[in-house]
Amino acid sequence: MRILFTDAKPYDRQFFDLANEAHGFEIVYAKRKLRAETAAMAEGFDVVCAFVNDKITAEVIETLVAGGVKLLALRCAGYNNVDFQACIDRMHVVRVPAYSPHAVAEHAISLLMTLNRKLHRAAQRTREGNFQLHGLLGFDLYGKTAGVVGTGKIGRIAAEIMRGIGMRVLCSDPFPDAEWAAATGCTYVTFEELCHESRVISLHCPITPENHHLINRETLALMPDGVILINTGRGALIKTSDLIEGLKSRKIGGAALDVYEEEDEYFFEDFSNEVIADDNLVRLLSFPNVIVTAHQAFFTAEALTSIAETTLANIASFARGDKLLANEICYRCAASQPCPRMKGEPCFTIR
């Protein structure tokens, strides 16, 4: 199997080369992102291994198929950048649905604690010889109400950590798990109730047509003044212009973002010597009560090892002709098998 890695970084080579010792695939690492104008570079490859900021449109898929590509292997959990309808009966798509949910959940809690206690500002002050405490006041998380939107593996772990530090945790999810909630002391409520009652709201859901711009001017109006928002899910869960207005009006007490609506143009790249042309991103970076990390929540050694091993195992399974029920994505509902909307039954025929 010949595999082309797009948008490849040095750490991809490090972890995938190690995992590939068990497989012996021919791997070519390309720095360029997968776009309509770059898709022709995949000609002659059996597999394209893509990442979250590759744009896999119908035009891209057409070019990949024409070039002989049979499998799109996403080395990530996110899949909103893929046109699944264009893949039907033409190309399999696999992903890594659970590489290290602890990594992402722990990063979300780290962002919350850093933002609340203003550790990012405190560290910068002391480096400059300023040891004053004025402007660094936070609040006890213990006893406060946190809202967790999305209770997949990552959301559950984040909720359990919050419970562990004494927070009351409300959850919102289209597929609530009453058994898990009862065991952990969490409570499922409607999204509107969660907004009304939560001092902290943390987003842990994939992007779907139903929750695009879930956080907007209308839903922000439901929240208490000074609410803290944490987003390690997907950037488009938040309407950025409304987030900025909420920060300016002080409706939002702080925001910590590991993802951003237009991140594919900037994240994972170095723009330190260039002018950032995205006005919304520049505005966000100017707020003292905003933290932006560049989609690094997944970035632990354990997660990268799991991503590499699972991705190559998916490819090996495909090469053997196995049915890819475990990590293949359902084209109808864009969910990994088993499809939650079909109650565990596959909702398309494996070709």
24-40 pLDDT, tens digit each: 999 999 999 999 999 99
pLDDT at 78: 77
Torsion sign, CA atoms 97, 99, 102, 105: negative
Q: Of the listed 199, 204, 234, 261, which one is catalytic?
A: 234
Please state the three-class secondary structure of 49-62 as a single string.
EECCCCCECHHHHH
Q: What distance in Å separates the CA atoms of residue 210 and residue 84, rounded to the nearest whole number? A: 17
Task: Please say if the pLDDT value at position 343 is more than 60.
Answer: no
Across 26-40, 71-85, 99-113, least confident range: 71-85
**Contact partners, residue 84, CB within 8 Å, separation at least 6:** 93, 329, 331, 334
Task: Please say if the pLDDT value at position 347 is more than 80.
Answer: no
Going along the chain from its start, the domains and CATH numbers come out as 2-99+301-342 (3.40.50.720), 101-292 (3.40.50.720)
28, 2 contact by CB (below 8 A): yes
**Contact partners, residue 201, CB within 8 Å, separation at least 6:** 146, 147, 149, 194, 195, 215, 223, 227, 228, 229, 230
pLDDT at 100: 86
Q: Of the listed 106, 156, 295, 309, which one is catalytic?
A: 295
Task: Please say if the pLDDT value at position 73 is more than 60.
Answer: yes
Does the annotation count 234 as an active-site position? yes
pLDDT at 346: 40
Q: What distance in Å separates the CA atoms of residue 47 and residue 69, rounded to the nearest whole number? A: 5
Mark out the alpha helices in the chain (DSSP H runs).
10-19, 58-66, 101-117, 119-127, 153-164, 178-184, 191-197, 217-222, 240-248, 279-286, 301-320
With left for phi above 0 and alpha for psi between -120 and 50, is residue 268 left, alpha or beta? left
158, 172 contact by CB (below 8 A): no
58, 83 contact by CB (below 8 A): yes
What whole-number percentage of the chain has pLDDT above 90?
Answer: 80
Query: Which one, of 112, 101, 51, lies nearest residue 257 by Cα?
Result: 112
Task: Please say if the pLDDT value at position 116 is more than 70.
Answer: yes
pLDDT at 340: 45
Mark out the alpha helices in 20-166 (DSSP H runs).
58-66, 101-117, 119-127, 153-164
Across 67-81, 101-115, 154-168, least confident range: 67-81
Q: What does the angle CA 15 – CA 23 – CA 41 come to, to the nearest 5 degrees?
A: 70
Does the annotation count 196 as an active-site position? no
Joined tokens for residue 175: 């597929």
Across 134-148, 184-198, 330-344, least confident range: 330-344
Does the annotation count 341 as an active-site position? no
pLDDT at 341: 43
The string of pLDDT tens digits covering residues 229-277 is 999 999 999 999 999 999 999 999 999 999 999 998 899 999 999 999 9
**Top-confidence residue, 341 or 164:** 164
The string of pLDDT tens digits covering residues 264-281 is 889 999 999 999 999 999
* Mean pLDDT for the stretch of residues 293-312: 95
315, 48 contact by CB (below 8 A): no
Q: Of the listed 106, 263, 309, 328, which one is catalytic?
A: 263
Joined tokens for residue 73: 């292997």
Task: Please say if the pLDDT value at position 345 is more than 60.
Answer: no
**Contact partners, residue 340, CB within 8 Å, separation at least 6:** 175, 333
Cβ neighbourhood burial of 10 (10 Å; 0-12, 13-18, 19+): exposed
CA 131 to chain centre: 36
Buried b (16+ CB within 10 A) or exposed e, 44-65: ebbbbbbbbbbbbbeebbebbe
What whole-number percentage of the chain has pLDDT above 70?
Answer: 92
pLDDT at 350: 31
pLDDT at 325: 54
The string of pLDDT tens digits covering residues 307-337 is 999 999 999 998 988 766 555 555 445 444 4
The string of pLDDT tens digits covering residues 194-215 is 999 999 999 999 888 899 999 9
